[in-house]
C-alpha cells in the first residue's frame, strides 16, 4: 500500500516527539546522576565503612 504524504508527516512528527522525549529523559538523568554523586559523597562522609569507598567508586 503506498504511503500518503499525511501519513509520512504524522510518522515524522511522532519520531520528532519521541526524540525530544528521549533527550529530555537523558538530560534529567544527567542531572539526577550529579545529585547521586553528591549524595553518595555526603553518605560516605557520614558513615565510613569499607563499602563506602566501593560505592563512591561506582
Closer residue to another protein in complex, CB, 13/45? 45
Residues 13-38 as b/e (b if ≥16 CB within 10 A, e otherwise) read eeeeeeeeeeeeeeeeeeeeeeeeee
What cell numbers appear for 23 in the block?
533527550
Length of the chain: 58
| C-beta of 5 vs 49, nearer to another protein | 49
- In the bound state with another protein, the residue whose beta carbon lies nearer, of 5 and 26, is 26
Contacting residues toward another protein, per CB under 8 A = 15, 18, 22, 25-26, 29, 32, 35-36, 38-40, 42-43, 45-51, 55, 58
Amino acid at each position: 500500500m503506498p504511503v500518503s504524504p499525511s501519513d509520512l508527516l504524522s510518522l515524522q512528527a511522532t519520531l520528532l516527539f519521541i526524540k525530544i522525549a528521549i533527550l529530555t529523559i537523558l538530560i534529567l538523568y544527567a542531572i539526577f546522576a550529579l545529585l547521586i554523586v553528591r549524595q553518595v559523597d555526603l553518605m560516605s562522609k557520614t558513615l565510613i565503612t569499607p563499602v563506602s569507598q566501593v560505592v563512591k567508586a561506582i
